């Protein structure tokens, strides 16, 4: 099929630093290339798409090693030619921008031109690391806890406010507000909120939408209130299936000391033994569980 | 009927787009800008005659700080809005009430209202900071509002299926105090003339203090009197009277006396100023307790319910504007927009 006959769909993957965007992309690429696993969208052709970035990150994923956090360049253009059960071919563009770019939107009120162009329209997939949600916490309650447990507060000078102190949900609401208004983008779009590291938070026994209401209530209210016209779905994803080995590139070097070795992941050895690697992936929607990461993409395509 | 072009010298006023006068004048003849052409601006050059070059390749996003009046007016034009004027002397807990309300939304819907958005998230987070663990303070603190132009905190909510904006005015307590010295000091307080709800704060901590209670009880009616004399409440807004810092009251050996004094303040205001407000209510709050003896944010949900309660429809506005053209003489002498 000629490129001009393909439907073009743009889905931006967004999220704060450490939210699991790259891991999600790597797992998705592994899945779409795996013919033995059933899914709603399958790989069609390589075409003219440059898959070198995807090949690199999927290699790290297959080794059950965390993705490196050091990439600070602009968005990587990720394009996949996929087809649905009826044989309709779509080219999905999913720019994978560094989380720092989204953090700059909240903290510095700046948006680079290239990322700005990708956020102008199309639907969104928002990754939120369920295990790293920074919730608001108050001095009075913390002091009462210390009194109850007999712990002393470490002496410290008061800290001035900095945008990075804001709870995760406040930062994400601001991000979505910016994306749905001029000068960045438009309202009335679809969004999938993907709670990553689901294996670490499923002990709370909550479905993903309930997890969002319980742990990020401001974001849940904002989406449900509908001022900016978001149509939303909430999923839980364990794109690794468990805890991978750390990445040496992420270990902070200390001057004068030997390079630190990355930590050993609790589940890495077990996951390397899974017969079909794509079966490491776990996706939860409501009460249902599968490994089909293309299902939320299909919802975002329409 | 032919329409007259509505013009205003204040470029930030959106009255021509169906909004209200940015300065809060119901009688537009009193507005110094209405009916006048805006002055020409030279937008290409700065004060030095030099063109500024911005090397950043991207978009500068709007800041998320409290709004000055022009941006507040644009918010007013987007959704049905409630403007809230919060009057309190310095350190009466004004900032804590606003911060405490936002903190409640961080935990879930408040008084049946869901958070729907805000263009002042940095501003709201800044005033929440000193009560949060991230500040590393030993006890919660609240920064005083500095003297200067009034600023507005913005929260959109959905309640009973409808979206509406809340714009909460923040001005330094000292400026409100000075209204009791000279009523004319309220002239610039357009946020009061425009307010749908006036919220008067009574400092519970000071009311618990034997040396301060008489001053608290005496100061508040005089401030309101000054504002009334200045015509600040001609639109007959609703009035909420709030006892703040109930955690201090509850910890005080004089709490029964404080409750009695607060009732006396409320009754006194109702008696003296009944004609100037549409509806009255009073609330006991603890927006940012220093201890866990009371619930964080207690009383604020009820206060929000009152803030969102629809006002009695204002009476029709009377347009008395004339720009001197003969055509205007052919217009009806009074136009009822009610």
B132 with A139: Cβ contact below 8 A: yes
pLDDT confidence of A197, banded at 50, 70, 90? very high
B59 with A161: Cβ contact below 8 A: no
Chain-centroid distance of CA A235 in Å reads 11
Q: Looking at mean pLDDT, say which of A163-172, B230-239, B303-312 comes out highest.
A: A163-172
CA pair distance A154, A177, nearest whole angstrom: 38
pLDDT confidence of residue A16 = 94
**pLDDT score of B217 more than 50:** yes
pLDDT confidence of residue B265 = 96
Mean pLDDT in residue range B159-183: 87
The C-alpha angle with vertex B321 and arms to B317 and B324, in degrees rounded to 5, equals 160
Instruction: Nearest by CB to B109, from A136, A144, A221: name it.
Output: A221
Pick the residue from chain B with its C-alpha nearest to A141: B292
For B85, the enclosing helix (H) or strand (E) is strand B81-87
pLDDT confidence of residue B268 = 96
Per-domain residue ranges of chain B:
8-36, 69-308
pLDDT confidence of B335, banded at 50, 70, 90? very low
pLDDT confidence of residue B19 = 60
Among B243, B232, B131, B222, smallest CA distance to B180 is for B222
In sequence order, the 6+-apart residues with CB closer than 8 A to the CB of B236 are: B276, B277, B278, B311, B312, B314
Mind giving me the DSSP string for B11-24?
A: TT--GGGT---TT-
Cis bond before residue A183 (omega within 30° of 0) = yes
C-alpha atoms less than 13 angstroms from C-alpha of B180 in its C-beta half-sphere: 16
Contacting residues of B for A157, CB less than 8 Å apart:
136
pLDDT confidence of residue B332 = 47
CA pair distance B274, B290, nearest whole angstrom: 35
pLDDT confidence of residue B46 = 44
**pLDDT score of B337 more than 70:** no
CA pair distance A15, A125, nearest whole angstrom: 8
- Paired sense of beta strands B58-60 and A7-14, if any: unpaired
- Residue B242 DSSP label: E
A170 with B292: Cβ contact below 8 A: no
pLDDT confidence of residue A151 = 79
* Least confident stretch, A63-72, A151-160, A214-223, B266-275: A63-72
* pLDDT mean across residues, chain B: 83
Please give, one letter per residue, the 3-state secondary structure of A178-216: HHCCCCCCCCCCEEEEEEECHHHHHHHCCCHHHHHHHHC
Pick the residue from chain B with its C-alpha nearest to A142: B133
Contacting residues of B for A183, CB less than 8 Å apart:
59, 61
> Are A250 and A60 a contacting pair, CB within 8 Å?
no
Mean pLDDT in residue range A249-255: 67
For B165, the enclosing helix (H) or strand (E) is strand B162-170
* Least confident stretch, A65-74, A287-296, B143-152: A65-74
- Residue range A201-234, pLDDT digits in tens: 999 999 999 999 999 999 999 999 999 999 999 9
Q: Is pLDDT larger for residue A145 or for residue A283?
A: A283
**pLDDT score of B97 more than 50:** yes
Neighbours of B38 (CB within 10 A): 13
pLDDT confidence of residue A124 = 94
> Are B81 and B162 a contacting pair, CB within 8 Å?
no
CB pairs under 8 A between A and B: 139
pLDDT confidence of residue A75 = 61
**pLDDT score of A241 more than 90:** no
Instruction: Nearest by CB to A110, from B61, B79, B137: name it.
Output: B61
- For chain A, list the domains and their CATH numbers: 8-136+161-253+262-301 (3.40.50.300)
Contacting residues of A for B117, CB less than 8 Å apart:
173, 177, 222, 225, 227-228
Instruction: Nearest by CB to A111, from B59, B132, B139: name it.
Output: B59
* Least confident stretch, A256-260, B111-115, B297-301, B308-312: A256-260
In sequence order, the 6+-apart residues with CB closer than 8 A to the CB of B141 are: A158, B130, B131, B135
CA pair distance B91, A194, nearest whole angstrom: 43
CA pair distance A64, A274, nearest whole angstrom: 11
Among A89, A103, A81, smallest CA distance to A21 is for A103
Q: Which residue has the tokens 């136009």?
A: B335
Please give, one letter per residue, the 3-state secondary structure of A211-252: HHHHHCHHHHHHHHHCCCCCEEEEEEEECCCCCCECCHHHCC
**pLDDT score of A87 more than 60:** yes
Between positions 25 and 54 of B, the ones with CB within 8 A of A are none
- Residue range A127-182, pLDDT digits in tens: 999 999 999 999 888 888 888 888 777 777 889 999 999 999 999 999 999 999 99
Neighbours of B17 (CB within 10 A): 10
B121 and chain A in contact, CB less than 8 A: yes
pLDDT confidence of B188, banded at 50, 70, 90? confident
- Residue B336 DSSP label: B
CATH topology of domain B69-308: Rossmann fold (3.40.50)
Pick the residue from chain A with its C-alpha nearest to B116: A222
pLDDT confidence of residue A155 = 77
pLDDT confidence of residue A150 = 82
Alpha helices in chain B, H assignment, sequence order: 69-78, 94-105, 121-129, 173-177, 190-194, 204-207, 213-229, 246-251, 255-273, 300-308, 326-329
Pick the residue from chain B with its C-alpha nearest to A107: B122
Mind giving me the DSSP string for chain A?
A: --GGGSEEEEEEEE--TTS-HHHHHHHHHHHHT-TTS--SSEE---TT---HHHHHHHHHHHTTBPPPS---SS-B--EEEEE-TT--EEEEE--B--HHHHHHHHHT-EEEHHHHHHHSSSEEEEEEEGGG-----BHHHHHHHHHHHTPPPPP-PPPPP-GGGS-HHHHHHHHHHHHTSTTT--SS-EEEEEEE-HHHHGGG---HHHHHHHH-HHHHHHHHH-TT--EEEEEEEESSSSPPBP-GGGSPP-TTSPPPPPPPPSSHHHHHT-SSGGGG-EEEETTEEE--THHHHHHHH-
- Residue A150 Rama label (left phi>0; alpha psi -120 to 50; beta): left
In this structure, what token pair is assigned to residue B10? 């204040």
Neighbours of B300 (CB within 10 A): 26
Q: Is pLDDT larger for residue B47 or for residue B291?
A: B291
**pLDDT score of B147 more than 80:** no
Neighbours of B14 (CB within 10 A): 18
């Amino acid at each position: 099929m000629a490129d001009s006959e393909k439907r073009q769909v743009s889905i931006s993957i967004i999220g704060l630093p450490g939210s699991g965007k790259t891991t999600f992309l790597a797992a998705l690429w592994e899945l779409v290339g795996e013919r033995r696993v059933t899914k709603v969208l399958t790989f069609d052709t390589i075409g003219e798409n440059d898959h070198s970035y995807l090949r690199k990150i999927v290699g790290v994923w297959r080794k059950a090693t965390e993705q490196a956090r050091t990439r600070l360049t602009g968005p990587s253009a990720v394009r996949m030619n996929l087809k649905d059960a009826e044989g309709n071919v779509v080219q999905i563009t999913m720019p994978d921008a560094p989380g720092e770019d989204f953090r700059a939107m909240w903290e510095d009120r700046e948006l680079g031109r290239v990322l700005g162009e990708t956020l102008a329209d199309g639907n969104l997939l928002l990754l939120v690391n369920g295990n790293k949600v920074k919730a608001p916490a108050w001095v009075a309650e913390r002091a009462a806890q210390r009194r109850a447990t007999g712990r002393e507060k470490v002496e410290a000078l008061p800290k001035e406010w900095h945008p990075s102190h804001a709870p995760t949900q406040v930062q994400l609401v601001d991000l979505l507000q910016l994306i749905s208004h001029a000068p960045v983008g438009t309202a009335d779009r679809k969004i999938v909120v993907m709670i990553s590291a689901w294996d670490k938070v499923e002990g709370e026994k909550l479905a993903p939408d309930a997890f969002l209401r319980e742990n990020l209530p401001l974001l849940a209210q904002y989406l449900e209130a509908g001022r900016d016209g978001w149509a939303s779905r909430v999923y839980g994803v364990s794109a690794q299936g468990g805890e991978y080995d750390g990445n040496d590139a992420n270990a902070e070097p200390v001057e004068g000391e030997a390079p630190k070795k990355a930590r050993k992941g609790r589940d890495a050895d077990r996951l390397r033994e899974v017969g079909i690697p794509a079966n490491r992936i776990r996706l939860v929607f409501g009460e249902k569980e599968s490994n089909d990461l293309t299902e939320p993409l299909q919802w975002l395509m329409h | 009927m032919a329409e007259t072009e509505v013009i205003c010298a204040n470029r930030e006023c959106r009255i021509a787009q169906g909004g209200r006068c940015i300065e809060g004048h119901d009688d537009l003849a009193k507005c110094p800008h209405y009916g006048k052409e805006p002055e020409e601006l030279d937008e290409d050059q700065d004060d030095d005659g030099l063109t500024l070059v911005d090397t950043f390749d991207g978009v500068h996003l709007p800041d998320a700080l409290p709004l000055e009046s022009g941006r507040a007016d644009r918010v007013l034009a987007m959704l049905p809005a409630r403007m809230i004027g919060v009057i309190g002397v310095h350190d009466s807990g004004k900032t804590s009430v606003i911060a405490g309300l936002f903190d409640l939304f961080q935990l879930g819907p408040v008084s049946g209202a869901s958070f729907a958005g805000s263009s002042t998230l940095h501003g709201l987070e800044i005033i929440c900071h000193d009560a949060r663990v991230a500040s590393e303070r030993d006890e919660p603190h609240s920064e005083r509002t500095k003297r200067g132009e009034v600023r507005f905190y913005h929260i959109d909510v959905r309640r009973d299926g409808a979206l509406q904006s809340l714009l909460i005015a923040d001005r330094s307590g000292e400026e409100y105090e000075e209204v009791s010295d000279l009523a004319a000091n309220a002239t610039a307080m357009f946020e009061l003339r425009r307010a749908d709800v006036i919220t008067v704060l009574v400092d519970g901590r000071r009311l618990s203090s034997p040396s301060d209670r008489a001053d608290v009880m005496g100061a508040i009616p005089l401030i309101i009197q000054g504002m009334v004399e200045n015509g600040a409440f001609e639109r007959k807004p609703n009035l909420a009277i709030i006892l703040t810092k109930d955690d201090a009251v509850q910890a005080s050996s004089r709490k029964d006396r404080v409750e009695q004094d607060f009732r006396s303040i409320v009754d006194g205001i109702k008696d003296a100023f009944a004609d100037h407000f549409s509806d009255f209510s009073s609330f006991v709050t603890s927006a940012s307790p220093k201890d866990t003896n009371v619930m964080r944010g207690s009383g604020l949900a009820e206060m929000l319910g009152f803030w969102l309660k629809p006002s009695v429809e204002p009476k029709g506005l009377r347009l008395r504007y004339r720009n001197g053209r003969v055509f205007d003489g052919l217009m009806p002498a009074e136009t009822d927009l009610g």
